């Protein structure tokens, strides 16, 4: 059975302050979003009688690190700390380091106060023909360049080869976290994850930003989860609502002068799929070729029924927890004779999130949310 420990650190300095026993722990890692941690602290525990639990769990000031067998697995900021004296129980709610940048604006370092009321609106941060990964890192670096804004995120050097023009106007007061999501949500946008590694030479977990090229994922063969082996059970969640075989992309213009590009994938019809329409609007596009490209990109993202697979796995069997990450490729293998897949299935999947629940007796329950990357015919 793995041993979980929970370290509490200062957000700005990353100095480890103390360790606390947590109960009812539930942690998630998410691709292109902010993972969460919820847990309880029982202040009736005699072990805590000499601890300053109030100071250790101050929202925004403190960070929680979850270490599995001394290896950092999750890290993030305490945003909620709710104590009930009737039960002597403290509930903490945390989010990973992406959440910090949801509280920061895309702005150059400001001049000394007081500022003219026109000052901020006149600022611009412009990136011209920059790799989208470079822009993502630059947004984080810019936020950390402000006084008291450096929380020690170490950025990687991955590039995607996809160049973008991006402008962030001061009058929009764009949130840095949202700017990162917008990059990740582009049709060929980079995967973005805030994670932890280490520990460093001081015994402290390292806060890192990882970007994909454009996707994140392991090198070499895909991980494998077999029902009846290292997979305990699965859930198959599918829906056809978002599917489309033809898209209408609306650009610049009004009424009969509106530019509308059409993209279609007729190859589905031979396999029995019906015609399904969808549309989107981008009034800033005036160029016909670009409008058609945008329409084709939209079609590429909605062309199949959306399938999500939830796998409950054994954390201590290969691949063990800590040896795979969100963004990794895997295989879901179900043997013949299954009640749902009677002929069995060997399906390529991609890990979108990992949720770990640590029971109070130390047992783990690990669930993976995966995306099917191939249609089952």
Mean pLDDT of 221-230: 95
Distance, CA of 230 to chain centre: 25
Is the domain of 232 the same as that of 325? yes
Is the domain of 253 the same as that of 183? no
Is the domain of 228 the same as that of 367? yes
132 neighbors 164 (Cβ within 8 angstroms): yes
285 neighbors 292 (Cβ within 8 angstroms): no
Is 17's pLDDT higher than 90? Answer: yes
Measured CA to CA in angstroms, residue 33 lies from 3, 102, 133, 203, 352 at distances of: 27, 11, 16, 27, 10
Number of domains in the chain: 4
Is 377's pLDDT higher than 70? Answer: no
CB-facing half-sphere around the CA of 103: CA atoms within 13 A: 13
Is 301's pLDDT higher than 80? Answer: no
- Residue 311 pLDDT: 97
DSSP letter at 234 equals E
Residue 279, number of CB atoms within 10 A of its CB: 14
**197 domain-assigned:** yes
Task: Give 53-100 pLDDT, tens digit per residue.
Answer: 999 999 999 999 999 999 999 999 999 999 999 999 999 999 999 999
Is the domain of 125 the same as that of 64? no
Is the domain of 232 the same as that of 359? yes
Angstrom distance (rounded) from CA 275 to CA 269: 7
Is the domain of 261 the same as that of 231? no
**103 domain-assigned:** no
Six-digit token string for 179: 């700017």
57 neighbors 90 (Cβ within 8 angstroms): yes
61 neighbors 80 (Cβ within 8 angstroms): no
Residue 376 pLDDT class (50, 70, 90 cuts): low
Is 205's pLDDT higher than 80? Answer: yes
Is the domain of 366 the same as that of 234? yes
Helices vs strands, H then E, count in the chain: 5, 21
**87 domain-assigned:** yes
Is 308's pLDDT higher than 80? Answer: yes
Angstrom distance (rounded) from CA 329 to CA 51: 43
**32 domain-assigned:** yes
pTM for this one?
A: 0.87
């Amino acid at each position: 059975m793995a041993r979980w420990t929970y370290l509490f650190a200062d957000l700005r300095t990353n100095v480890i302050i103390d360790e606390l026993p947590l109960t009812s722990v539930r942690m998630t890692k998410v691709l292109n979003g902010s993972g969460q941690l919820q847990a309880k602290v029982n202040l009736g525990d005699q072990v805590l009688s000499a601890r300053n639990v109030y100071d250790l769990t101050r929202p925004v000031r403190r960070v929680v690190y979850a270490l599995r067998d001394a290896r950092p697995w999750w890290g993030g900021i305490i945003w909620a700390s709710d104590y009930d004296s009737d039960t002597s129980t403290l509930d903490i709610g945390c989010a990973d380091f992406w959440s910090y940048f949801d509280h920061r604006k895309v702005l150059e370092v400001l001049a000394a106060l007081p500022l003219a009321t026109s000052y901020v609106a006149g600022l611009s941060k412009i990136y011209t023909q920059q790799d989208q990964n470079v822009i993502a890192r630059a947004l984080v670096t810019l936020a950390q360049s402000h006084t008291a804004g450096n929380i020690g995120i170490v950025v990687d050097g991955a590039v995607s080869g996809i160049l973008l023009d991006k402008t962030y106007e001061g009058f929009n007061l764009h949130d840095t976290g949202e700017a990162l999501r917008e990059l990740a949500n582009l049709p060929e946008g980079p995967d973005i994850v805030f994670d932890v590694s280490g520990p460093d030479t001081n015994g402290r977990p390292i806060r890192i930003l990882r970007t994909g090229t454009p996707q994140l994922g392991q090198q070499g063969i895909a991980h494998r989860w077999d029902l009846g082996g290292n997979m305990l059970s699965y859930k198959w969640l599918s829906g056809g609502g978002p599917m489309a075989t033809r898209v209408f992309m609306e650009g610049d213009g009004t009424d009969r002068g509106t530019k509308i590009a059409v993209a279609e994938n007729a190859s589905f019809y031979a396999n029995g799929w019906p015609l399904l329409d969808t549309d989107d609007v981008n009034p800033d596009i005036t160029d016909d070729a670009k409008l058609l490209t945008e329409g084709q990109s939209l079609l590429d993202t909605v062309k199949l029924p959306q399938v999500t697979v939830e796998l409950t796995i054994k954390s201590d069997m290969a691949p063990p927890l800590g040896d795979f990450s969100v963004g990794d490729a895997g295989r879901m293998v179900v043997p013949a004779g299954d009640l749902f897949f009677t002929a069995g299935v060997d399906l390529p999947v991609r890990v979108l999130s990992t949720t770990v629940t640590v029971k109070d007796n130390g047992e783990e329950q690990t669930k993976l949310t995966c995306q099917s990357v191939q249609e089952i015919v």
